[in-house]
Amino acid sequence: MKIPKAWWLGIGEMQVMLAPRHRPPSRRPLWIIILVSLVCVSLIGAYVYPPRQHTPCYLFSSSVCSPLKQWLPPAPARVFTDDEIAARVVIKDILDIPNIQSKNPKIAFMFLTPGRLPFEKLWEKFFRGHEGRFSIYVHASKERPEHESPLFMNRDIRSEKVSWGKITMVDAEKRLLANALLDTDNQHFVLLSDSCVPLHDFDYVYSYLMDINISFIDCFEDPGPHGAGRYSDHMLPEIEKKDWRKGAQWFSMKRQHALIVLADTLYYLKFKHFCKPGMEGRNCYADEHYLPTFFHMIDPSGIANWSVTHVDWSEGKWHPRAYRAQDVTFELLKNITSIDESMHVTSDAKKEVQRKPCLWNGLKRPCYLFARKFYPETLDNLMQYFSNYTSM
Ligand SMILES: *[C@@H]1O[C@H](CO)[C@@H](O)[C@H](O)[C@H]1NC(C)=O
Ligand SMILES: *[C@@H]1O[C@H](CO)[C@@H](O)[C@H](O)[C@H]1NC(C)=O
Ligand SMILES: *[C@@H]1O[C@H](CO)[C@@H](O)[C@H](O)[C@H]1NC(C)=O
Ligand SMILES: *[C@@H]1O[C@H](CO)[C@@H](O)[C@H](O)[C@H]1NC(C)=O
């Protein structure tokens, strides 16, 4: 910060010196010009050989930096900070751990809910007959729910309050992961909400998630105000704007990725401190950006870039479409289960629609295993159609 200030003062002084014309010529202007040139040279030096821990543009506002960028050679790759090197070593080794060979591999179904789970009966239908291949965890952030299904009884974990859009949401996700990781048979971890319902039968879901090496974490680049517009320079040097990503929070992840999420403090703290509602006059929601950005940075080919939980944003409102009893028909469920392209829409004026085929181990397959948001009143219809739509 000192260098640009001195440079400014130099100009200022020079103008002051030149202004009074009647003064006898002094040698000072030349002096200052030399000084200014020296400062310029050191600026260029600082650009070409940036000090550790800082990117050159970190020192200056981007408007000063961009003209420099045009005539200087590209900056060398950034030197990692101590914390980054430590984080990357840990992450790399966890990624390289072969899967624990469990005799009895299970999927952890982690429910993040304020209280009651209106679809327990439906989930029971989904789970019945598959005992030993799943485990259930419930994080109830407002009130301890009364469970209707015995499968959900005594599955509540110690929970804390969750505020919408705040880091407490990510904390709850981590709390669920930690509890589920305690059971070494759990190999895949699915985050679900109280308004989520299953779209396929258990065997289909089990093989879809277990017979693949990747995590289904939603991730896309949105140049608009609800994407890149939420980025803060405070995240530098570790998180650069080019790596900033967005995605729905409803993930499913493999065990190595779950471990990495718990091992991470460096990137997590950046989001905790600099991605929150009201940050610098804008709203940033850590649950929509932390995992997409983090996994995009550390293991981009290890994530599918779409979430296996369907949600309908096509109405273009602040909240996704929520289904009422009369909406839930066999045709609706058939429609959702047959979608085989993921879709993302940018939040800029262009509203660009990005469509990608859902490739599962290289094959185009239906994208979704679960769907939200369903009102509790849809339970009867869902129960009625369950065997039909899940067997498609
Ligand atoms: C999973 O990854 C390992 C190593 O990266 C690879 O050898 C194996 O074939 C992969 N399995 C699947 C199902 O993709
Ligand atoms: C997800 O997107 C990244 C680029 O952002 C890409 O490198 C990666 O291959 C994608 N994942 C899959 C499974 O295609
Ligand atoms: C199902 O999809 C078809 C074709 O996209 C559409 O015309 C129809 O309205 C959809 N039905 C429901 C109930 O969403
Ligand atoms: C389910 O499918 C069967 C066979 O296709 C059909 O006879 C039955 O009416 C369907 N049930 C409902 C509730 O749609």
- Supply 346's token pair: 């940018």
Q: Which ligand is in closest contact with the Cα of 303?
A: 2
Task: Map residue 364 onto helix, strand or coil.
Answer: strand
Contact between 180 and 137 under an 8 Å Cβ cutoff? The reply is yes
Residue 392 Cα to ligand 4 middle (Å): 12
Domain boundaries, given as residue ranges, for the chain:
36-71, 82-303
d(CA 264, CA 214): 19
Alpha helices in 160-265 (DSSP H): 167-181, 202-210, 255-263
| Cα R_g (the chain), whole angstroms | 27
* Rounded (5°) CA angle 234-268-111: 135
pLDDT tens digits, the chain, 392 residues: what are they?
333 333 333 333 333 333 334 444 455 556 555 555 655 455 554 454 444 444 444 444 444 445 555 555 566 578 889 999 999 999 999 999 887 778 899 999 999 999 999 999 999 999 999 999 999 999 999 998 999 999 999 999 999 999 888 999 999 999 999 999 999 999 999 999 999 999 999 999 999 999 999 999 999 999 988 888 888 889 889 999 999 999 999 999 999 999 999 999 999 999 999 998 887 888 999 999 999 999 999 999 999 999 999 999 888 788 899 999 999 999 999 999 999 999 999 998 889 899 999 999 999 999 999 999 999 999 999 999 888 878 76
Going from the Cα of 98 to the center of ligand 1, the distance in angstroms, rounded, reads 10
Q: Is the CB of 335 under 6 A from ligand 3?
A: yes
For residue 388, which atom of ligand 4 is closest to its CA? 1
